[in-house]
Amino acid sequence: TSFGFKEVKEEDKSQLVSNVFSNVASNYDLMNDLMSGGLHRLWKDRLVSKLNPFPQMKHLDVAGGTGDVAFRILETVKSIKYRAIQDPLDDHLLEETQIYVCDINPNMLNVGKKRAIERGYGEDKSLVWVEGDAEALGFQDQSMDGYTIAFGIRNVTHIEKVLSEAYRYDYYSFSIIPALGELVAGDRESYQYLVESIRRFPPQEKFASMMAEAGFQKVEYENLVGGVVAIHSGLKF
C-alpha cells in the first residue's frame, strides 16, 4: 500500500511522523550525509553562524533530533568562553548557557544524548533534552533568547501553530531551514512521506510572509545551493 501525504488525515500525521523518525533514528546521521552529500553540515554551520550565539544564551532548538544544531551552538559558545576566561573578570561567563533540544520523538533524543556523551558533553549542564511538540511547547513566554528549527517545520501538521509558538519567546534571532529532504528512510513509506513533505512545503517567499504574519520583523531568507535549502530568520523586538 502506498500512501500519499494528502491521503493522511491530520490527526494521523503526528503518529505517522513519529513512526517515520523512530524508524530512521539510528541511521539518521548517515542518511543525512548520503542525501545531502555531506552538505547539511555546512548548512547547519551557516545557520549557527547567522544565529550568532553568545554565552549565557537561552536557546531553544525545536525538532532538534540528534542534537546536530545544538552541538554547533554549544561549540560556538564554548569558543567564545574560551577567549573570555583569559580575562578573570569574565569568569561568570562560564555558567548558565542553556540549549534546549526539543523533539517529539524520544528515539531521536536518545541518539542525541548518546552522541553528546561521545563528544564529551555527557555531563554538560548546558544541554537540556526535552520531549515536546513544536505546536504546543511547554516553555514560558519570553523565556528564550533564540529559537531554531532545522529540517523540522515541514514535518508538522500546522505551520502557523509552530510559528505562533515560536513567537512566544523573546528572540535574539529565529532561523529556519525549511526545504529539502535529506533522508532516505529504511522503508518505502517513510521515504515516500519525507519526499511528499518536502514537495508540499510552502516556497521561500510564502514562508517568509507566514513568519511576518506570526509577528516576526525583519524577516529575511538566504537561499543555499540555488534555493534547494533556505535559511529564514526573523526578529522579535
CA-based nearest residue to 104, from 165, 145, 52, 51: 165
Site membership for ligand SAM, residue 180 (CB under 6 A): no
Site membership for ligand SAM, residue 175 (CB under 6 A): no
**Contact 58/128 with Cβ under 8 angstroms?**
no
By DSSP bridging, strand 173-177 and strand 146-150 are parallel
Please report how close the Cβ of residue 174 comes to ligand SAM at its closest, in angstroms.
15
Q: What is the 3-state secondary structure (H, E, C) of 193-227?
A: HHHHHHHHCCCHHHHHHHHHHCCCEEEEEEEEHHH
Site membership for ligand SAM, residue 63 (CB under 6 A): yes
Site string for ligand SAM, 119-158 (x = CB under 6 A): --------------xxx--------------xxx--xx--
Site membership for ligand SAM, residue 17 (CB under 6 A): yes
CA-based nearest residue to 228, from 27, 62, 37: 37
C-alpha neighbours within 13 Å on the C-beta side of residue 16: 22
Size of the site for ligand SAM (CB under 6 A): 20
Binding ligand SAM (rule: CB under 6 A), the pick from 108, 116, 185, 211 is 108
Give whole-number Cα distances, 217 to 76, 161, 209, in Å: 25, 18, 10
Please report how close the Cβ of residue 135 comes to ligand SAM at its closest, in angstroms.
6
Of 2-10, 57-65, 122-130, 166-174, which part binds ligand SAM (CB under 6 A)? Answer: 57-65
Q: Which residues pair with 233 in a beta bridge?
A: 175, 220
The helix/strand/coil state of 90 is: helix
- Of 93 and 201, the one with the shorter C-beta distance to ligand SAM is 201
Site membership for ligand SAM, residue 196 (CB under 6 A): no
Site membership for ligand SAM, residue 21 (CB under 6 A): yes
DSSP 130-182: EE-BTTB--S-TT--SEEEEES-GGGSS-HHHHHHHHHTS--SEEEEE-----
Binding ligand SAM (rule: CB under 6 A), the pick from 53, 64, 146, 234 is 64
Place of cell 537561499: 223
Please report how close the Cβ of residue 228 comes to ligand SAM at its closest, in angstroms.
15
Binding ligand SAM (rule: CB under 6 A), the pick from 31, 48, 51, 69 is 69
Please report how close the Cβ of residue 152 comes to ligand SAM at its closest, in angstroms.
4
Binding residues vs ligand SAM (CB under 6 A): 17, 21, 62-65, 68-69, 103-105, 108, 133-135, 150-152, 155-156
